[in-house]
Structure 1
Amino acid sequence: MLITVMIADDHGQGYPVAWCISSQETTEVVQLLFQVIKDRSPNVKVRTLMTDDDDIWYNGSKAVFGNEILHLLCHWHVDRSWKNHLRSVAKEHQLNIYQTLCILVHEVDRSLFTTRMTQFTEYWNTREPNFVKYFNTYYKERADKWARCYRHFSHADTDTNMYLESFHAKLKTNYLNGKVNRRVDFLIDALLRIEQDCFFKVAQKQRLGTINKQEVKEAHRHKRGLQIKAEDVTDIDDNH
C-alpha cells in the first residue's frame, strides 16, 4: 500500500512531499510517517490537513503536530458518501435532498448555513428519517470539517483531494504503464522518477518567473479595485 502526503505549491499545483509503503493503513503507521517528516523538517508548521472521511489521518497527525491542527474533509469524498446513502432514499426525494446538501456545502454565511441545516433536518426527518439519522450522526456535528462557511482561512485554496487523485492516476498510467505492480523496487524507482520530474518542473517555473495562482487572484482583485469610482468611496478616517 502506498501512502502519499501532498501539498499545494506556490504555483497552485500538487507536489508530493512524502511517501510511505506499508502493508496496512493505521493510525500508528500515519503517526510514524508524520513523525519522520517532523524529524526531517522540524521548522515545518502544519496548520491544515485535508483527508477523506477517515479519522486515521487526523488522529495520526495531531499526535505529532498537536490538537491545533485543522482537519478538513475532501468535498469529493463527502459528496460520494452522500450519493451512496441516497440510494436508500425514495427515488422521488433523492434529487431534492442532494440539491439541498450541495447548497449547504457551498453556503459561505455561517448563520444562514445553520438556519438551512436546521430546516433541512426538520423537513426531512418525517419523510426520510433514516437518511436524516445518518446525516445527524456523521455530518451535522462535524460541519466545521466539510461546510465552506467554516473555511474562511488559508487552506491552499482547495476543497478536494484532486491533487492527490491526479498524482496517483499519473503514477499508475505514465510511470507504471497502467500495469498492476507487485514489486516494491519497481514502485520505488517510479516514485524517484516522478519526484525528479516534479522537482524540475517547479525549478523551471521559478527560473522563468511563472506567476503563481495567488498572485493571479491578487492581480484580478487589484484590477477590480481600480474600477471603483471615486464617488463610491467613503472616507472613514483622515489617515486612510
Structure 2
Amino acid sequence: MPNIACLVCGKVFCTQSNVNRHVREVHHQKPKPISYAKDMHRFKCMEMVDNDYCDKSFNKKENLITHLNEEHSKNFEILETVGTNIDEKPKRIDLLTHEDVRNIKNSYNIENANGKRHHNDATSVHLWVQECNNKTTGENPIIFYKPQESEEDGFKKEDFCLLIMNSFQKSMLLKFGKNIIAIDGTHGLNGYDLDLVTLLVIDEFNQGFPVAFLFSNRKDTFIYTFFFDCIRDNVGIIQCKTFMSDMEGAFYIGWEKIMGPAQHTLFCSWHVDRAWQCNLSKIANKEKRANVYQALKILQQKTDEGNFQKCLINFVHFLNGDSDTAEFGKYFRENYCSNFTKLAYCFRNNCGINTNMHLESMHKIIKYFYLEGRVVKRLDKGLNAVMKYLRNRSVSRYIDLNKGKNTKQSRLNFVRHNKALNSTYSLVINGDVYTLEKPPQDSSTIQEPYCVTKLNTPRCCENSCSCCGICRHMFSCSCPDFTNNNVICKHIHYVVLHIKNLNIVSSHTPLVEMNECVKILSQDTSEDRTNSSKVSDVYIQHLLN
C-alpha cells in the first residue's frame, strides 16, 4: 500500500482519505494535493543498540522479521550472557558492545544461521568452499568449484559452476542408481541467473533422494556432460534402467555420452502436459482446442503399443486435415512423432516412475520451508538451505531404516487390497497365468480381461502388502494401474487371496474357478473352527458381497 505523507506535519498514512481527514480535523485546513513519501517506511526496528535505537525501517513486515532474526537475536544473546557476569573491576569482555560482536563475526568469518559468512555474497560462498576443502576427503562435499573470473578449460571467464556430492550421496547413487535416475532444474534460490540442477534416485521406500547438485549459469549440453563426467570420476559408470528428464534433451545427451544409454528414456508427464497447454493457443477455436487436448490425453494414456501407433497416425492425419489445427499439428509432428516412446504410457510399463514429482516436492520444500517462501537474492543463503535439506533428508532416511516407514506406496497398496476384498471376478487359471474377467452388468457391456502372472521372484522390496505377504516384484498384471502407478493392483491382491483360500482347503486341491472355490469354502459350518478358519471366513464374506 502507498505511504502518503501529510504536507503540514509529515505524518504518514495508508490512503488519501485518511490524509484528508487528518488535515481537516487536526490542522483545520483544506486538504491539499498529496505526495508519496517514497523514502519513508511503515515498519521500524525499535531494538536498542548501545543505548540507542537501531533506527532501521522496512516497507514490509517480513523484511523487519528477517532483520530482527539476523542482526539482533544472536548478538543480544551474547551481550546478555556477558552482562550477567560483570565484576567490580570490569574486564575488556565486560565492555562488549553490539558493534564489537559484529566486528568479531566479520573478522573470523563466524557462520550465521542463514549461511552468511561475509557481506559480499561471492566472498561468502568462497569462504564456505574453503571450509569444505579443509575437511578430510570423505567429509568434503565439493567435487568441483569454478568461481567467476577464474580460468578453466571449456568454461568462459564469466561462468560459475559448483558441484556438490557428499559421501552419503555417493553411496545412495551406487545403491539405487541402476534403477531410476531423474534430473531437473529449478530457479529462485538466488538473485542471479544460477539454476539448481538436482540428480535424484528412488530408494526402497519409493522416496526420492538427491545424489548430486549443480549450481551454474550455463544450461547447455556442455555443462551437463561435465556434471556427469565429474560424477563418473567419483562413483564410476552408472548404467540405469530408466532416465527421466524434461523435454529439452540436453540432460540425456550428456548422460548418454558419459554413462551410456538407458533402457528407457522418458519425458516427465507434467512437462509434456505443460508444453501442450502452452501450444494449444495455436488453435483459435475453443471447442476444437478442448477436443484436441482431450484426444492428446487419451493418446498419452494408451497402454497397448499397437493400438497407440494406429491412434497416433490417425491423430496426425486429423490435425493436418483441418486448417484450424494444422499449425498445432506441425508443432506436434516436429516435437513428438519422433519421440513418442518417451511420452506414451504403453512404453513406460514397469519403469516405476511417471512424473518428476519427487524433484518438484524437494524444490518446493527448500523454497517454502527452508527459505520460508521468501525470494532469496544471495547464493550463500540458497546453498545453506540446500545443505540443510540434504542433512535432514539423510537423517530422515536413517530413521526410516531403523523404525520403518508408512509410505504412500504402502497406503495405496492397502487401498487396492480393500478393493480386491469387495470385488468379484471370473477367474481362469492356466499354470502361473490368471485371467480375470468382470461379469458384465448387461449384455451390451463387455470389459477387457486382465492377466496376472505369478513370477518366480522372492519378496525383495518395501513396495509390498503386509496382509498378502507379497511385494510388487512377485506378480505382474496387464492393467494400467500396475504398469503406470508402481503399485500392487487389486487384480494381484484378488489372485493372492484366491491362492490363500485354496491353500486353506487343501494344499493338493487342483486350481478351479473362483466361484467353485467360494462354494467349497462356504460348506464349512463346523462350530469348532480354529482362529485361522475364522480369518478365512472374513475373506469369504468380503468376496461374496
Shared fold per TM-score greater than 0.5: yes
Deviation at residue 68 of structure 1 after TM alignment: 4.2
Q: 1:44 to 1:145 in 2, by over 3 A?
A: same
Deviation at residue 175 of structure 1 after TM alignment: 1.1
Aligned with residue 389 of structure 2, among 191, 194, 200 = 194
Q: Does 1:163 align with 2:363?
A: no
Query: Partner residue of 1:152?
Result: 349
Rounded to whole Å, the distance in 1 between the matches of 2:377 and 2:258 is 31
Deviation at residue 198 of structure 1 after TM alignment: 0.6
Conserved 8 A contact 2:238-2:259: no
**Residue ranges of structure 1 left out of the alignment (5+ in a row):** 234-240
Conserved 8 A contact 2:239-2:261: no
Deviation at residue 185 of structure 1 after TM alignment: 2.1
Summarize the alignment of residues 101-140 of structure 1 with structure 2, pairs less than 5 Å apart.
101-127=296-322, 128-140=325-337
Aligned with residue 41 of structure 1, among 220, 235, 239 = 235
Deviation at residue 66 of structure 1 after TM alignment: 1.4
Query: Partner residue of 2:219?
Result: 25
Conserved 8 A contact 1:9-1:15: yes
Deviation at residue 108 of structure 1 after TM alignment: 0.7
Report Cα offsets for 1:188-223 as digits up to 9, x if no partner.
221111011111111111101336642246395653
Higher mean Cα deviation, 8-17 or 214-223?
Answer: 214-223
Query: Partner residue of 2:199?
Result: 5
Deviation at residue 74 of structure 1 after TM alignment: 0.6
Length, aligned pairs only: 231
Q: Does 1:227 align with 2:497?
A: yes
Summarize the alignment of residues 180-191 of structure 1 with structure 2, pairs less than 5 Å apart.
180-191=375-386
Query: Partner residue of 1:176?
Result: 371
Counterpart of 1:92 in structure 2: which amino acid?
E
Q: Once superposed, what is the RMSD of the aligned Cα atoms?
A: 2.1
Rounded to whole Å, the distance in 1 between the matches of 2:377 and 2:254 is 27
Aligned with residue 141 of structure 1, among 331, 338, 345 = 338
Summarize the alignment of residues 204-219 of structure 1 with structure 2, pairs less than 5 Å apart.
204-210=399-405, 213=409, 214-216=463-465, 218=472
SS in 1 for 2:338: helix
Rounded to whole Å, the distance in 1 between the matches of 2:262 and 2:373 is 40
Q: 1:34 to 1:43 in 2, by over 3 A?
A: closer
Aligned with residue 82 of structure 1, among 276, 279, 286 = 276
Deviation at residue 135 of structure 1 after TM alignment: 0.8
Deviation at residue 69 of structure 1 after TM alignment: 5.3
Query: Partner residue of 1:92?
Result: 287
> Quick check: which one's helix share is greater?
1
**Residue ranges of structure 2 left out of the alignment (5+ in a row):** 1-194, 410-462, 466-470, 475-487, 503-510, 515-545
Rounded to whole Å, the distance in 1 between the matches of 2:200 and 2:390 is 12
Rounded to whole Å, the distance in 2 between the matches of 1:75 and 1:28 is 26
TM-score relative to the length of structure 2? 0.40
TM-score relative to the length of structure 1? 0.88
Rounded to whole Å, the distance in 1 between the matches of 2:330 and 2:210 is 38
SS in 1 for 2:265: strand
Conserved 8 A contact 1:53-1:78: yes
Summarize the alignment of residues 50-61 of structure 1 with structure 2, pairs less than 5 Å apart.
50-61=244-255
Report Cα offsets for 1:7-48 as digits up to 9, x if no partner.
222111221111011112111111111122222222643232
Conserved 8 A contact 1:171-1:194: yes
Conserved 8 A contact 1:62-1:69: no
SS in 1 for 2:211: strand
Larger Rg: 2
**Percent of matched pairs sharing the same residue:** 28
Conserved 8 A contact 1:51-1:72: yes
Rounded to whole Å, the distance in 2 between the matches of 1:159 and 1:42 is 27
Rounded to whole Å, the distance in 2 between the matches of 1:2 and 1:134 is 29
Rounded to whole Å, the distance in 1 between the matches of 2:326 and 2:237 is 49
SS in 1 for 2:376: coil
Deviation at residue 139 of structure 1 after TM alignment: 0.4
Query: Partner residue of 1:70?
Result: 264
Indicate the structure whose relative CO is greater, using CA pairs within 8 Å and at least 6 residues apart.
1
Report Cα offsets for 1:131-185 as digits up to 9, x if no partner.
11111110012111111111124x3x22111211111111111112222223222
Counterpart of 2:496 in structure 1: which amino acid?
L
SS in 1 for 2:209: strand
Counterpart of 2:260 in structure 1: which amino acid?
G
Deviation at residue 49 of structure 1 after TM alignment: 1.6
Q: 1:226 to 1:3 in 2, by over 3 A?
A: closer
Counterpart of 1:76 in structure 2: which amino acid?
W
Rounded to whole Å, the distance in 2 between the matches of 1:80 and 1:140 is 18
